[in-house]
A and B are shown apart, each in its own frame.
Chain A
Amino acid sequence: MIESKRRRRVIGNIATYFVLATLSMFCIGPMIWMFLTSLKYEADIVTQTMQYIPRRVTFDNYVAIWTQSGFPRLIANSLVVTFLTVTICVATGTLAAYAFSRFAFRGRTQLMLGYLVVRMFPAVMMIIPLYVVMRSVGLVDSRFGLALAYTSFLLPLFVWMLKGFFDSAPRELESAARIDGSTRLGAMVRIVMPLARNGLVASSVFIAIAAWNEFLFALMLTTGQGSRTWPVGLQLMVGEFQLPWGVLAAGGILSILPVIVLFAIVQRTMVQGLTAGAIKG
């Protein structure tokens, strides 16, 4: 009886590891293949017999994408747009998330639902009027304009996520500070913000990744080298210059590198924040 129970558990464990290994392979296999491709000579990529392990390794593809296209410029633009988006969201969204988390006031529920419903608006429905409006005020093809456009879908997300982190910061310390004569502002800045620091970082990283990756708004709202971000640039390079696979793979690897690094650093807190909202409902 006990023997068969143990055997069943061992079989269960083996099955679990098998499932996990298979799914992990499905998830990162494509990325590994892209990485291997980025290290191959073009002749070894288009060869008749598939090379699973590259016989010779080269970094030419990385040199090519970095020097022979406007790639550094694209990356710089993406960095600026991402930075501006995060700045706007943190500056305005932190205050809103704090208000939603700590105060009861008229219209709170409706306002919070409103912040949720805007996520249902189709991107295309926003892109067209944003394009028309921004063209009339000269914000098309501007990095600031693109960051403003990103705010339209990332600010509500940021507020919701951060509110969850504020909710889980204990109120007792705040009350104690208030009794000691601190103002609401003082308690917020000196007590609550430090307590929710990890959450603030995780929420910021989440919207930073989203802004870094964004493609559709950028395709519509940027027309020239001055503000074009890397996803649009890479996509246009594929279309216009028939970019060789190796160079494209190198570009892909370079552009997801920051995402992977940031994700690795804050993934635990970020996962916590992403799931909190859905579970409570």
Chain B
Amino acid sequence: MRALGELSETRYWMYLLLLPSLVMILLVIAYPTLYGMAISFREMRLTRPGLGGWVGFKHYAAMWSDPVFWIALKNTVVWVTAAVVMELALGLLAATALNRDLPGTKIFAVLILLPYFLPNVVAGHMWALLLDPRLGVINDLLVRVGVLQTYKAWFADPNTALAATVLVEAWHGFPFFALLLLAGLKSIPEDLYKAAAVDGAGVSAQLRLITLPMLRTVIAAAVILRVIGLVNSPDLLLILTGGGPGDATQVLSLYAFQTAYKEFNFGYASALSVVMFVILMIFAVAYIRLSRITKGEGDD
């Protein structure tokens, strides 16, 4: 203990503190990532161990003429955009309401945040039950109100499957926006609104001229984190639809996962995920440029 104490007085102390986590990260992130990129240039199928050579850009060329890839790319864009827009709108609504700090707000805040911490597996099956074509309570309610004539198989109809999964994702993800936007709202000085009210600005003018500009960085950070999360995680779609019916809800991350998990075609799956990563990087850089977060998110 004393030796460690003395060690902590040397100028290498901070590097010693960093060492364990750095070793972990090199071991479980850096090495696998580089190895994964290498796999995308190789033939690797677990079902056929004989293959294993380098094939250059073969997988990338195959992707170009793979119709499922293009469908998945289109679906990814639609799915992520729709979900983020819905989550942002709901999150803004929730944050604005919570920010008024009326009595009892704390309980509402806890209830509204809860879905974000629930596992995808439970969220998926819960909504599958709610929207079930035979015994779904949402179908029952909609028929009672008169919106629907008969029960609808939301996830089996190619026209509604993607929209239904967006609804589930919005339920799961909007608390994240509410959380960040509420913190952003709290950091806006009250005086700004008082001054605006004195100058005769109404509610909508205050929203347009104060709230949204002041929230710009928070919104930008929340959107980018959410887009990254949504593009990367196929969990919910895997549980709800498995990409079907047909390829109506097939997205890139799910396509890559199934190529690896079901077909054991690791080479092609790696190539798919590398392309996904590159697209995401380009989006992130462009988005940060556009929204002018000069300091870099979360930086000191």
Contacts and interface: CB of A to CB of B under 8 A. Distances in A.
15 contacts: A24-B112, A99-B14, A118-B29, A124-B273, A126-B29, A156-B29, A183-B5, A220-B261, A231-B121, A256-B119, A259-B118, A278-B222, A278-B298, A281-B293, A281-B297
Return the 3 tightest CB-CB contacts between A and B, nearest first. A213-B119, A275-B183, A185-B8
Contacts of B18: 95-96, 99, 111
A209 B115 CA distance: 12
Contact of A120 (B114, B125, B222, B284): B284
B274 A50 contact: no
Interface stretch (B53-61, B67-75, B89-97): B89-97
B22 interface: yes
A105 interface: yes
B112 A23 contact: yes
Given A103-B14, A128-B36, A281 B126 contact: no
Interface stretch (B155-163, B204-212, B232-240): B232-240
B102 A26 contact: no
Contacts of A46: 134-135
Contacts of B31: 129, 133
B112 A95 contact: no
Interface stretch (A61-69, A168-176, A192-200, A263-271): A263-271
Interface of A: 12-13, 16-17, 19-21, 23-24, 26-28, 30-31, 33-34, 37, 45-47, 50, 52, 88, 91-93, 95-96, 98-99, 102-103, 105, 109, 111-113, 115-116, 118-133, 148-149, 151-152, 155-156, 159-160, 183-186, 188, 209, 212-213, 215-216, 219-220, 231, 234-235, 238, 245, 248-249, 252, 255-256, 259-260, 263-264, 267, 271, 274-275, 277-281
Contacts of A130: 28, 32
B98 A20 contact: yes
B119 A275 contact: no
Contacts of A113: 296, 299
B295 interface: yes
Interface string B94-128: 10011010100100101111110111111001110
B183 A20 contact: no
Interface string B216-243: 0110011001001001111100110000
A119 B228 contact: yes
Given A17-B102, A128-B39, A129-B39, A123 B28 contact: no
A186 B218 CA distance: 38
A2 to B, nearest CB: 15
Contact of B129 (A109, A245, A259, A278): A245
A208 B78 CA distance: 32
A62 to B, nearest CB: 15
Contacts of B83: none
A216 B234 contact: yes
Nearest to B120: A215
Contacts of B135: 45-47, 50, 245
Nearest to A279: B183
A281 B298 contact: yes
A124 B90 contact: no
A133 B34 CA distance: 12
